[in-house]
Amino acid sequence: MELRSIGSLRVSVVGLGCNNFGMRIDEPATGRVVGAALEAGINFFDTADIYGSTKSEEFLGRALAGRRHQAIVATKFGMAVDDQRKGARPEYVHRAAEDSLKRLRTDYIDLYQLHQPDPEVPIADTLGALDQLVKAGKVKEIGCSNFSANQLDEAARAATPGTAPVVSVQNEYSLLNREPEASVLPACERLGLAFLPFFPLASGLLTGKYEPGKAAPKDSRLSLSWTSRFTTDRNVRIAEALKAFAAAREHTLLELAVSWLAARPCVASVIAGATSPEQVRANVAAVSWSLTPEDLSEIDRLAPLT
């Protein structure tokens, strides 16, 4: 598996998104998925305190028992766990980190990410608390999620010499949502940040399993009510065109979606979720397609940046 950099971390180009843990799959199934990921060469596991109502971190921590050294663990804080546990105030940053460390059964977090901007707290204050965690050895690198280019610039300006800088940003990005190309990816190149795309498969629409005019498979993410925003007429039309493009080249839509992201500037790891070992292995195999400049040009025509 190819490794890429997030600050000082070296992560697999295909990572495992852990938001299914505790929500769509239980602890034994989580263990099987994590085991399959490690066996397939994945070392990057991305979770958050809110995933599975904190169960994701718990399940991941137990699944990595005895093999924590094989994993690069990323988690997030800031979205509301409950009415008291939320936001980016310095005092809460420390509490959230301690809670995550306990649930993950570890004494350090490889990549600790602010899940979303907190308009009520100056970013410099939050970065100061995160720097304290780095200096204490509880966090190795710090990142952010759902940040705009302007917010990334603000965070870069707020980092003072000798303090830990933000090294990554995690935003939604896929063949069906190319918004980061307008300003966030250029900001990443300018600031030297790694980019982590979430919803790289558009919540399952880019796996090739969805058939227009038919209900999503009952066990799929697309069957969940909140995913309806992905199955717009535009997205379904583009997905079908991309599926035909891939098939004409003896590849799957999943292979196209993952390989295209891996070919994008600044992308460090494509963190696709999985609910079974089979899905893990499919995600890993999907990155093997080396797209040509001609392929990329045709993909731009089929799935244009809007």
Q: Which active-site residues does the annotation give?
A: 51
Q: What values do phi and psi take at 67, rounded to 5? A: -140, 25
Separation of alpha carbons 87 and 81, rounded Å:
10
SS3 17: strand
- 194-198 and 166-172 strand pairing: parallel
Tokens 């558009």 belong to 202
Tokens encoding 49: 């305190």
Pick from 37, 33, 78: nearest CA to 59:
33
Separation of alpha carbons 46 and 238, rounded Å:
28
User: What is the 8-class DSSP label of residue 25?
Assistant: B
CB 117 within 8 A of CB 86: no
Name the β-bridge partners of 112.
75, 142
C-alpha dihedral sign at 244, 247, 252, 257: negative
272 membership: H or E segment, kind and range: strand 270-273
Separation of alpha carbons 301 and 299, rounded Å:
5
Tokens encoding 27: 């602890």
**DSSP-assigned states of every residue in 121-181:** S-HHHHHHHHHHHHHTTSEEEEEEES--HHHHHHHHHHPPTTSPPEEEEEEE-BTTB-GGG
